[in-house]
Amino acid sequence: MYAEYFGLREPPFAITPDPGYVYLSPHHREALAHLLYGTDENGGFVQLTGEVGTGKTTLVRSLLEQGLEQVDIALCLNPRLTVEELLATVCDELNVSYPREHPTLKGLVDALNEHLLRVHATGRRTVLIIDEAQNLSREVLEQVRLLTNLETTKHKLLRIILVGQPELRALLARPDLRQLAQRITARYHLPSLDAEDTAAYIRHRLRVAGGRDDLFSRRALRAVYRRSGGVPRLINIICDRALLGAYGQNARRVSAGVVQQAAREALQDRSFGLEKRFVHIRPALAIALAGLLMIGIALRLPDTVTLPLALPADNPTAGKTAAPAAAPAFVAAPALAPASRNADQAAAPASVPASRKADQAAASASEIRSPPPVAARVDPATALANAPAIAPTSTAGTTAPASPTTFSAPAVTVTETAPAPASVAASSPAASSAASAPPSSAPSGVSERPATPTPATSSATTADLISLLSPTSNQGKPPSSSVGGGQLNLSALLRDAHIEKANEGLLALWGIAPFQGRAAAFCEQVKTRGLRCLSGQGDWEALRHFNRPAVLPLNRAGGGAAPVLLRSLADNRATLEVGGQLVTVPLEQIKPLWTGQYVLLWKLQTDQPIIGPGNNGEAVRWLRRRLAMAAGQPIPEAPSERFDAELGKQVRAFQQARGLLADGMAGEQTLVLLNNLAPLPGTPLLSQSPREP
């Protein structure tokens, strides 16, 4: 009724699980990665839970739309079955023949086992997905456990994914089901959307339906969040009724008042709306309690307290619960499976390490051979400035699955907020003055660009480098080193080896004058120049593939970390900028000092930080052109703007060839590598001959 009035092709807020409208928030992206892991050759038993209406079934439908190759999926939507009925349903989904008149438990299991062995011999994988699994009886759950015993000496014949409401977690926590719970290799709980993602979700669905994304005022968007609690199904119900109400009033936009009236009419539960009003009280109460707690701690702690930055050595993913103040800004090396998100979701097998706690961020998500981690709201610059000395992490001997390439793709966290348009960086006063004007002409609010670092050496020994990064010990005799025939005042260089200098050097390579203010705001400030921070943990091969200058923390001999700028990378040597001096060092001599962490900058060339199912428009066209370039095919002049299953296959092929998580969605790492096919002018590179897969 209202679709034509608002210029929509169809109503955008239907409550059916349409994969074409899927919105991948950071949480939903991580949940989908867990589902994809469950279908992988190393997948086992995955549990996905979430409140009613959070989008679990939509994610399952999106998984089915992925067009996964070499995968057969049996989907059970009605779990209120007997053991025999469940097995018969699985056999029907997989087209397995069995005696239909008088099926027996043994006959069904034997027929299924024979089919699974035959399919496994052809190289295909079989996955059983049970939706609404909280309704399974204890007897059926026990049979599900027994199905996991169908295996060869090396592989499980049947991979199982249980999807259900939070009651499923309580059900599997029962002592009599502990055998089943111990077989679950990955768990994830899908939360509701926050206020920012709720607004993005509404705009996304309006765009997909062909309409303007500003049909709801800002106050209306906030009202939708307050009344829905961020539950997608309730958002759809309220928004659909609000559009109808605005249509009835001949209004061109939906106001907050229309949303409030729509919520009262659609939800038919005034207590729900009243409950949501307490959302405003809870943050204030939490802040007050936190303040009292900090005062109490301050009264009991000594004058000086050191809060070390925890940096786990092997943590492939992270949940999105609230993080402590010292939450890590980096995630660690890849591993087999995603870890649990909550404290009560500890995965049993050793192949699934415990999840680090981190605050939610936007998408980004890792594209390594494990589900993506999420970004902590800890600025990477802060982490580099405060990080203690850490033993370097080696990727050798990890349990990560084999990759088509030799480089070990790092786990990555990304600050997920809408980027500034690409034209901002090119036209901004800071950028233009930094590129052409003298230092004194730097615009207001931006400090002068640092002087170009002077080459100090063509070679340095490990001892020189350790001395360079060591704390000053003898004030009367500052350390110095003879490097390349010249004398270096290493003590003076050391005093400048801090995060601000490294950040300034990184900005200078992008033609941007340094920012005024604390380094903690660095990754927020670069967004005003159309750039993004990408932080993670990897190795030299990972940095070669990303091909961007990066800030690296090197361990000091006396403890602590010294952030240095990696300006260029040759086959076996790296050029570092330390305190305004350039030092060229063999990689083998840096390896004992480098923790594997890095922060680099990159520019988003599209209007979407993640391009996947449900996206339409110019970002999809850009993706099609870049994938054609990567495949060595002619670049299409007018590519389709719709993200279909075939495009998802092309994205997965690109990701597999480069050792990324092949989830079929172009996330941050994929976009950086696609950018490298035709870098924007002014993009600094580590090497003019980037490493190809």
469 class by beta-carbon count within 10 Å (0-12 exposed, 13-18 middle, 19+ buried): buried
The answer on 576 and 458 residing in a single domain is yes
Average pLDDT of the residues of the chain: 73
Of the candidates 575, 601, 627, which is a domain's last residue? Answer: 601
pLDDT (tens digit, 9 = 90+) per residue, 123-137? 899 999 999 999 999
The answer on 186 and 88 residing in a single domain is yes
The answer on 491 and 555 residing in a single domain is yes
Helix, strand, coil percentages (3-state) for the chain, rounded to 5, are 40, 15, 45
Tell me: pLDDT of 692 over 80.
no
Count other C-beta atoms under 10 Å from residue 482's C-beta: 10
Give the percent of the chain with pLDDT over 90: 31
pLDDT (tens digit, 9 = 90+) per residue, 406-452? 333 343 333 333 444 433 343 343 433 333 333 333 333 333 344 45
pLDDT number for residue 501: 83
Do 665 and 611 contact (CB within 8 A), yes or no? yes
Q: How many domains does the chain have?
A: 3
pLDDT (tens digit, 9 = 90+) per residue, 53-88? 999 999 998 888 877 778 999 999 888 899 999 999
The answer on 492 and 623 residing in a single domain is no
Of the candidates 133, 163, 190, which is a domain's last residue? Answer: 190
The answer on 597 and 634 residing in a single domain is no
pLDDT (tens digit, 9 = 90+) per residue, 234-250? 999 999 999 999 999 99
362 within domain boundaries: no
* Mean pLDDT confidence for 39-51: 86
* Mean pLDDT confidence for 263-282: 58
100 within domain boundaries: yes
167 within domain boundaries: yes
The answer on 573 and 517 residing in a single domain is yes
682 within domain boundaries: no
402 within domain boundaries: no
Of the candidates 173, 190, 207, which is a domain's last residue? Answer: 190
The answer on 430 and 501 residing in a single domain is yes
pLDDT confidence tier of residue 311, bands split at 50, 70 and 90:
very low
Sign of the CA dihedral 610, 613, 619, 622?
positive
389 within domain boundaries: no
The answer on 545 and 427 residing in a single domain is yes
The answer on 639 and 534 residing in a single domain is no
- List the domain range (segments joined by +) for residue 655: 618-666
Q: How far apart are CA 122 and CA 376, in angstroms?
A: 42
The answer on 57 and 134 residing in a single domain is yes
Tell me: pLDDT of 596 over 70.
yes
Sheet containing 186-190: order of strands: 71-76, 125-130, 159-164, 45-50, 186-190
CATH of the domain at 576: 3.90.70.10
Q: What is the DSSP string of 302-368?
A: -S----PPP--SS---B--SPPPTT--S------SSPPPSSGGG---STTSPPPBP----SS----S
Tell me: pLDDT of 517 over 80.
no
Q: How far apart are CA 629 and CA 631, in angstroms?
A: 5
The answer on 638 and 495 residing in a single domain is no
CATH of the domain at 138: 3.40.50.300
The answer on 648 and 544 residing in a single domain is no
Tell me: pLDDT of 486 over 70.
no
222 within domain boundaries: no
273 within domain boundaries: no
Model-level pTM greater than 0.75?
no
